Structure 1
Amino acid sequence: MVVARHSTLCSRKAVGVRTLAKSYVGKRLSDVPTPAFLVDKQIVLNNCQNMLKKCAELGIKLRPHVKTHKTEEAALLQTGGQKKCITVSTFREAEFFADCGWDDILLAFPLAPFHIGRAKSLADHISTFHLLVDNVDSATALAKSPIPSGKASWSVFIKVDTGYARAGVRWSDTEMAVAICKALQPSVKLQGLYAHCGDSYHTSSLTEVSAVRNRTAERVVKLGEELVQRGFACPIISIGSTPSMSASVNAEDHKVLQKLNEAHVGNYVFYDLQQASLHSCSLDDVACRVMTRVIGHYPHRKQMLIDCGFTGLTKQGLNANKFVAGYALFENHPNLKLIEMSQEVGKVEGVDGNLDFDQYPVGTELLLYPYHACATASQHPVYYIHKDGLVEEEWKPIRGW
């Protein structure tokens, strides 16, 4: 009875929210309230098709990461229209896509024992749901848990740290990987190894990016071969990051990468200034912008205010690369820089110290390339999909964890 009352109350609140929400489909972008997250669907489609083609040419299955956008619309573009074989970063994402009819979902977040109940609800619901483990305690807890309904076993990948130093078993620690494999038996099936090329974000050239990718591949393949030698089947070797999978592949690289059979990658859907600085893309490949408006002039301090603060953009990227003076790049206005943000407003100055206020009357619309598309997109409850100045669609990302 308590659950029923709570559900009724939630549905009433939802109805109230819907009556206040306004659709801007068919409206001009100038009608959209700011700050607003704008997406060029054709660029998204191009980015997705290019990644699908590249993985096909390498003979690697693409398991796209959906955390950048968290929408079914973009996920379908990533998979070529098939509702299967994706990577998610939160349980909420996994639940959303499962409810939408998706299958073969990998939750790329290290499993802890307190996650298992929620994981079982998901595994009961879809035919193929994979987890990520990187320690014996979690492996042991999972092996002792009831097997999901209709399944022969749980399904996991071992998370491997090949140098990024965030999560995972160290690639050189074969004994730890073996201990995890033993702890998983007999009720958990090991699908393979999963490694994130996160250190590719700390590079300064395409040569360095390729070196990180190849080193990651070599290290995780080596660990996989050692597990096989110790008697543990390890059929899938999966690596990825947008810089590593966007970088070109020469003949020598291909010799390394041909030992892989899966890639997980996500930011390429939108790309951003960070990726442009890493040579993963050009600015023309960046599919998203944040639209903002001028709300005030302050000539005495040579500044103007815009209605985009850190809740519309995040505080990542301050003077972080050659494209950015300040927190973000203003499209078609290279003399502007966003120097400071509070929650809802941003301070803008001229890069050269001068600001022509007559050029930017109050109400002027400005477009910002975000430094980090994943983090910026997560700030917005709706994405405005536009073409020729008109809103064609509204994508609404799943929120929460």
Structure 2
Amino acid sequence: MDYSLQNHASYIGRPIAELPTPSLLLSKPVLERNTTALLEDVKKLGISFRPHVKTMKCTEVTRMMLGDGLHRKIVASTLCEIRGALDLVREGKLDEVRTFAIHWYRKQVLRKSTQCLYGLPVFPGALQHLHDLSQSLKIQLMIDNEQQVDVLEAYLEKASSKPAPWSVFVKIDVGSRRAGLATESPSLPKLIERIESSSAATIHGFYCHAGHSYATRTEEAATAVLQEEVEGVVKAAKFLIDARPDRRIVVSVGSTPTAHVVSRLKATLPEGMELELHAGCYPSNDLQQVATSLVTPNQQAIRILADVCSVYPERNEALINAGTVALSKEASEFPGYGIVIDRPQWCVVRMSQEHGILGWAESEQTTRLMQHTGSKSGTGEKIEDSFRVGDKVLLYVQHACITSAQHFVYYVVDEHDVVRETWVPWKGW
């Protein structure tokens, strides 16, 4: 068992210098600012919001993303995340209670279960688990292939008690080439017709994720991708709306880069469509997000604390105890796999499992970080002048989602880097 799971709460009230390493630090003030900013954008636009819980995978951050119950829809990448979100159901944050005026003298309280979208195209091995979870909250499925409809119908035939048809999103590929059907694919109208004729499923909406938006470098470029997302799902939804004008369909768009520019959205939806935004990494951000130029370095809530274990003057490198399993081998325009925050021209240039090698990597991106941190690093510094065995280093990470998945406890700090809370994420599939 990870030692941190046994004693993490004992570090509450202590400075980060006293933490075991490697440790994942979460700045609560930064998390709160990031989540509040997006919730304000969504409010101003008057659209619905569905946070993706895959990045931090924990109750506390999910609660923030939902605005403490203001929004009641989520998307999850694993069954584990859905099970973890049941804590919020028990709190009442994911069990919507609305009061509607029926007449001027009488009111009726209606309960409406939340919508939790399982974000992978559905496969047979997940169905029984999803059915069991659907007893606690409304589960929605992702579909992008007619064979998945066959799977749902086969499950329905074998069920002892006939469940209601699954509510599904049709996944649309708007350029990421990961999952989904392109709008020009001849398979798309066939899939829509197949679902509509099935007793096992009903279409709730059309969903896309613009993963390729991570390659954008300006607000204008990200806004263009956001517009492509909206146009893609609207075009797909029209296959259904044109045939069934009485239907109300949700079109769901988003990624963290396009969510950062959602306030610039100018799209007007055709009658019968409701716009929904989804995003996941925006509470924490990371170097990949900073590389888009849509966020600043001080909007990164995640840092990794590590110890310097050795120094090698002959090759101008140092060894830290944060390697692949503490960081991840994701990359961006920023060099290496992690950047030393107060000396950003030193980064993790290579790794093995638990070993990270700090080396010098001067670049335009590290110069940009220096301007934010106030670092005065000079060209060609010597490793022995910068690090000693036992020094603590703080690292920005390349990909918050993968990095956070490696850690069993998050040390939540205030603006003075004192631990105020410890959060335990949901682990597993």
Question: TM-score band (shorter)?
Answer: 0.7 to 0.9
Within 5 Å, which residues of 2 pair with 1:104-183? 104-123=115-134, 125-146=135-156, 152-173=164-185, 175-183=187-195
Change (3 A) 1:148 1:286: farther
Q: Deviations over 1:60-98 (max 9, x none)?
A: 111001100000000000001118311111111112213
SS in 2 for 1:296: strand
Aligned to 1:52, which of 29, 39, 52? 39
Q: CA RMSD in A?
A: 2.5
Give, in angstroms, the shift of residue 22 of structure 1.
6.3
Structure 1 residue 86 corresponds to structure 2 residue 96? no
Task: Give the equivalent residue in structure 2 for 1:394.
Answer: 422
- How far residue 18 of structure 1 moved from its aligned partner, in angstroms, is 6.0
SS at match of 1:284: helix
Alpha-carbon offset, residue 174 of structure 1? 5.7
**Retained in 2: the 8 A contact 1:174–1:227?**
no
Give the aligned residue type for 1:95. R
**Number of residue equivalences:** 381
Q: Distance in 2 between matches of 1:148 and 1:273?
A: 50
Please, which runs of 5 or more residues in structure 1 have no aligned partner? 1-12
Deviation of 1:148 after TM superposition, in Å, equals 10
Q: Report deviation, 1:383.
A: 0.7
Contact 1:196 1:240 in 2 (8 A): yes
Q: Which residue in 2 is equivalent to 1:291?
A: 305
Within 2, Cα distance between the matches of 1:307 and 1:20? 20
1:221 matched residue in structure 2: 234
User: Is the 8 Å Cα contact of residues 39 and 383 (structure 1) preserved in structure 2?
Assistant: yes
SS in 1 for 2:51: coil
Q: CA deviation at 1:114?
A: 3.0
Write the deviation string for residues 277-319 of structure 1: whole angstroms up to 9, x where unpaired: 11221111111111111111111222111111111101111xx
- The SS at the match of 1:261 is strand
1:308 alignment partner, SS class: coil
Contact between 1:217 and 1:256, CA under 8 Å: does it hold in 2? no
Moved more, 285-294 or 182-191: 182-191
Cα deviation 1:220-250 (Å, max 9, x = unaligned):
1011012111238351000110001102644
Q: 1:256 to 1:280 in 2, by over 3 A?
A: farther
- Cα separation, 2, equivalents of 1:350 and 1:309: 17
Q: What is the TM-score with the length of structure 1 in the denominator?
A: 0.88
Bigger CA drift: 18-27 or 67-76? 18-27
Q: 2:279 aligns with which of 265, 277, 283?
A: 265
Cα separation, partners in 2 of 1:359 and 1:201, compared to 1, 3 Å: closer
State the Cα distance separating 1:361 from its structure 2 match.
2.0
* Aligned partners of 2:306 and 2:320 also within 8 Å: yes
TM-aligned CA deviation for residue 182 of structure 1:
2.5
- Give the 3 Å change call, closer, same or farther, for CA 198–148 of structure 1 in structure 2: farther
3-state secondary structure, aligned to 1:291: strand
1: CA distance, partners of 2:8 / 2:417 = 21
Give 1:356 shift.
Answer: 4.4
Mapped partners of 1:148, 1:235: distance in 2:
31
Choose from 279, 285, 288 the match for 2:293: 279
Supply the AA of the counterpart residue of 1:391: V
Instruction: Check if 1:328 corresponds to 2:328.
Output: no
- Report the counterpart of residue 255 of structure 1 in structure 2: 267
Quickly say closer, same or farther: Cα 1:375–1:127, change in 2 above 3 A: closer
Distance 1:304 1:193 in 2: 50
In 1, Cα distance between equivalents of 2:83 and 2:420: 27
**Partner Cα separation in structure 2 for residue 34 and residue 120 of structure 1:** 40
Contact 2:144 2:191 in 1 (8 A): no
Letter matched to residue 420 of structure 2: E
Structure 1 residue matching 2:282: 3-state secondary structure = helix
Deviation at 1:204, TM superposition (A): 3.3
Query: Once the two structures are superposed, what CA deviation does each residue of 1:159-185 show, in whole Å capped at 9, x if it has no partner?
Result: 111221111122223653443443452
Structure 1 window deviating more from structure 2 (210-219 vs 140-149): it is 140-149
The answer to whether the 8 A contact 1:292-1:307 is kept is yes
CA 17–69 in structure 1, closer or farther in 2 if over 3 Å, else same: closer
The more displaced of 153-162 and 262-271 is 153-162
> Gapped runs of 5+ residues in structure 2?
95-113, 362-378
- Cα pair 2:172 2:232 within 8 Å, conserved: no
Identical counterparts, % of pairs: 31
